[in-house]
Amino acid sequence: MNIPSTLSLILSSIALVACGASRPHAAHPSSGPVVDMEEMHITAGEDAAGGLTFEATDAEQLFRQGIARVRSGDCAAAVLSYDRVASEFSGSRYASPALYNAGLCLTESGEFDAAVSHYDRLIRDLPRSPDVRDASFQLAALDVRLERWDDATRLGRELLARTDLTPDTRMEAMARLAQAQLGAGHVEDAATQADEALRYFRTRSADHPVRDDYFVAATNYVLAETLRQRSEAIAIPLGTVAEVRPVLERRAQLLLRAQRAYFDTIGRTDPEWASAAGYRIGNMYDTFWQALTAAPVPPPPRPLEGVDLAYYQERYRAELGQLVRPLLRHAVRYWELTLLMVERTGARSEWTARIREDLARMRSRLGVTDPLPEPPSSEPESSEPGVESPAPAEPPPPIESPSSAM
């Protein structure tokens, strides 16, 4: 007997109707309970002895297989199971949670582009799924991570248009939109969005608060970044001291406002955002120092030429260097404080490496190896960098069954 190597028999969804008659007849809804069964695929083949074998699979079986593989730590194999559900049983109630779980798995594995494609597919192909909202939030986070600013901006606005958001999820959507606008270079829009989000946070009632500080800190950080960027965009012109002074004052005022916003970020006690904010404070002082030392030398009070002009410029640079040296000391101090916070909280991140690298460079520039004494601060002492260690953020759990997402 010639048997095909693979024979797929698709058993469509059927309704089992309880009835007392021995002869089949049209069922009426009141004649008994109706049970919708999952579609099943049966694959026929040959064994080594030439015998006929059958393998029956359905969406639930593959979905449970995916969950078991995740629990055993085999994410790649789990994604294969989930993808079979979505491809072979696209009409199943398990298709949506399978795509969602595959996206989570791929994100945890660092395969961000593949995760994006799974969330995109869920949102596009299954728009009525109860998993669409959570998939949209996961996708927004990936868009920000991958610097897909236009996609993140569009998705942030779509999320904010939803009517089923909790205070925490609305805060998250507002923060993601602000991050996307800042990343796209729309500084003023980002500042407006961050202000709106922080106002939303502050005006919540006691019955409907924003409980998770992570996205409050993220929004504070965006606001601080907009102020820093506005400060650093102010170029120091060539002119007399009287002409340059108001420009420096505007830049310094924005710097201090940014510093306060960074301090507010640190005060939210999220280690990740606190370390980023601590780095930026030190980086601001370093950048301001570089701008001042590289600025054009103001013309002398009386005309000078040749050696006299060169001596004037040299003296000006030397005196300016001493005058702005405290900026470097501020940078070092804030980086040192941030490193202490990182050590205390264990919040290792990209910022840790940046701080260590810049701190070594700055200490070399100052000609010191030991930590410097703390400089006077224009902020209240309680605003200095330093946080208590919060509980680590947990990744979103996978969906165990289609009903668990409802």
- pLDDT tens digits for 104-163? 999 999 999 999 999 999 999 999 999 999 999 999 999 999 999 999 999 999 999 999
Instruction: Provide the pLDDT confidence category of residue 48 given band limits of 50, 70 and 90.
Output: low
Cα gap 165→171, rounded to integer Å: 9
Q: Could you tell me which residue, 215 or 17, shows the higher pLDDT?
A: 215
Token pair of 65 as six digits: 């297989």
Tell me, what's the pLDDT at 377? 44
Domain count, the chain: 2
Identify whether the C-beta of residue 106 lies closer than 8 Å to the C-beta of residue 79.
Answer: yes
DSSP character for 234? Answer: S
Asked if residue 17 belongs to a domain, the reply is yes
Above pLDDT 70, what percent of the chain? 78
Token pair of 343 as six digits: 């050590």
Instruction: Provide the pLDDT confidence category of residue 68 given band limits of 50, 70 and 90.
Output: very high
Asked if residue 314 belongs to a domain, the reply is yes
Place of tokens 């698709």: 10
Give the helix/strand (H/E) hosting 351.
helix 350-366
Asked if residue 271 belongs to a domain, the reply is yes
Say whether pLDDT at 384 is over 60. Answer: no
365-379, pLDDT tens digit by residue? Answer: 777 655 544 444 444
Tell me, what's the pLDDT at 145? 96
Asked if residue 75 belongs to a domain, the reply is no
Angle of CA points 71, 72, 76, to nearest 5°: 95
Tell me, what's the pLDDT at 15? 29
Cα gap 61→340, rounded to integer Å: 50
Q: Average pLDDT for residues 201-224, to the nearest whole number?
A: 96
Lowest-confidence segment of 28-32, 58-62, 319-323 by average pLDDT: 28-32
Question: Going edge to edge, which strands form the sheet with 40-46?
Answer: 7-11, 40-46, 52-58
Lowest-confidence segment of 46-50, 101-105, 266-270, 274-278 by average pLDDT: 46-50
Say whether pLDDT at 392 is over 80. Answer: no
Please state, rounded to an integer, the average pLDDT across all residues of the chain. 81
Asked if residue 241 belongs to a domain, the reply is yes
Q: Could you tell me which residue, 307 or 122, shows the higher pLDDT?
A: 122
Say whether pLDDT at 313 is over 90. Answer: no
Tell me, what's the pLDDT at 302? 83
Tell me, what's the pLDDT at 340? 81
User: In terms of Cα–Cα distance, which of 210, 199, 155 is closest to 177?
Assistant: 155
Say whether pLDDT at 16 is over 80. Answer: no
Give the helix/strand (H/E) hosting 53.
strand 52-58
Instruction: Provide the pLDDT confidence category of residue 347 given band limits of 50, 70 and 90.
Output: low
Asked if residue 325 belongs to a domain, the reply is yes
Asked if residue 279 belongs to a domain, the reply is yes
Instruction: Provide the pLDDT confidence category of residue 406 given band limits of 50, 70 and 90.
Output: very low
Q: Could you tell me which residue, 190 or 243, shows the higher pLDDT?
A: 190
Report the amino acid identity of residue 64.
Answer: R
User: In terms of Cα–Cα distance, which of 191, 197, 266 is closest to 226?
Assistant: 191
Asked if residue 252 belongs to a domain, the reply is yes
Helices 241-267 and 214-232 cross at an angle (nearest 10°) of 170
Instruction: Provide the pLDDT confidence category of residue 46 given band limits of 50, 70 and 90.
Output: low
Say whether pLDDT at 385 is over 80. Answer: no
Q: Which is it for the CA torsion 397, 400, 404, 406, positive or negative?
A: positive
Say whether pLDDT at 388 is over 80. Answer: no
Token pair of 72 as six digits: 């055993």
- Residue partners of 404: CB distance under 8 A and separation at least 6: 97
Task: Domain of residue 316: give its range.
Answer: 237-389
Domain stops at, among 21, 42, 58: 58
Say whether pLDDT at 177 is over 70. Answer: yes
Q: Where are the beta strands (DSSP E) in 246-347?
A: none
